Amino acid sequence: MTGADPGLFGPDSVTWQTHGDPMMWIAGIRALYLQALHPRAVRGVLQNSDFRRDAWGRLLRTANFVGTTTYGTTEAAERAGARVRKIHSMLSATDPDTGERYPVDEPGLLLWVHCAEIDSYLHVLRRSGFRLTDAEADRYIDEHRQSARLVGLDPAAVPADRAELAEYFEKVRPDLAAGPEAREVDDFLLRPPTHPLLIPAREVLWRRVAQLAYASLPPYAHELYGRPAPAPATVTRQLRLTGLLLRRVPARLRWQLPPKHILRAMARLGPHTRPAPYKLGR
């Protein structure tokens, strides 16, 4: 609709077209696996929350933040960012080896969390068959310097394309390790607590989802966790098959799940703003 606020990204962005894809859920789990390999970052999570009891809530809050910043109004996105920055400003963690106490909103930690998320979203989407050119992938990374700003980072210090993102991961790799906190996250993701009636569904569905997310990690992450993964070609086939199956679920049905960010955005801006992969490159 004329004059309606398109939000931080808007319907012409790569972000708008990609974030409605159902493979984003698997990408989010991959991001958790990757983020847990930074000892200082994962301590900030585990020392300030009961991860095992509230992991589902954490996953849903992250999804809600991504949905709000992607499809919400500019005001809603800025409010969500301010809320995250305020919470982080009050939290700290302790290094058990040195006794050092440090804030969880250290720029280096925020940058790791951001880059692990963006890399995971982009990697899983492309590898599962969502068509993005290299130029569109670079645009996506550049667009998300906006989301980095929301959590307190200087956009100028955030990777702006695939080359800078790859360079960042090479630089940070010596800091990564699969410590006890990472093992706890790994254990939870493979065996999450669920209602007894859902145990069969968990065994059939969740374990496969978690294993696929793990398998899609880079080789150095598999080495750190010490668990093998299928051959890359096998993982790619599994991701493509999963993407094919999930994308056959009608989008309107998927988007009915609360909090309905996409449907609200279409109501605000008009039905022509419906996210769809084919709109990229037009």
How far, CA to CA in Å, does 167 sit from each of 96, 126, 158, 163, 241? 30, 20, 11, 6, 31
% pLDDT > 90, the chain = 79
Which residues lie closer than 8 Å to 86 by C-beta, 6 or more apart? none
Which residues lie closer than 8 Å to 2 by C-beta, 6 or more apart? none
Q: Which amino acid is at 181?
A: E
Q: At what angle do helices 24-35 and 51-71 cross, to 10 degrees?
A: 130
Which residues lie closer than 8 Å to 235 by C-beta, 6 or more apart? 127, 212, 215, 216, 229
As a whole number of angstroms, the distance between CA 236 and CA 200 comes to: 26
94 three-state secondary structure: strand
pLDDT of residue 59: 77
As a whole number of angstroms, the distance between CA 218 and CA 211 comes to: 14
Record the pTM.
0.94
> How far, rounded to the nearest angstrom, does the alpha carbon of residue 271 sit from its chain's CA centroid?
26
> How far, rounded to the nearest angstrom, does the alpha carbon of residue 177 sit from its chain's CA centroid?
20
In degrees and rounded to multiples of 5, residue 93 shows phi and psi of: -140, 165
In tens, the pLDDT along 170-220 reads: 999 999 999 999 999 999 888 776 655 555 655 567 788 999 999 999 999
pLDDT of residue 233: 98
Q: Which amino acid is at 115?
A: C
As a whole number of angstroms, the distance between CA 140 and CA 189 comes to: 28
Of residues 198 and 255, the one with the higher pLDDT is 255
pLDDT of residue 188: 86
CB 15 within 8 A of CB 140: yes
**CA angle, 153 then 176 then 229, to 5°:** 115
pLDDT of residue 138: 98
Helix (H) or strand (E) holding 16, with range, is helix 14-18
Mean pLDDT of 75-96: 97
In tens, the pLDDT along 95-132 reads: 999 999 999 999 999 999 999 999 999 999 999 999 99
Confidence bin at 259 (pLDDT 50/70/90): confident
Dmax (CA) of the chain: 58
R_g of the chain, CA atoms, integer Å = 19
Question: Could you tell me which of 59, 12, 41, 23 has the C-alpha nearest to residue 188?
Answer: 59
Q: Is the dihedral of CA 61, 26, 189, 92 positive or negative?
A: negative
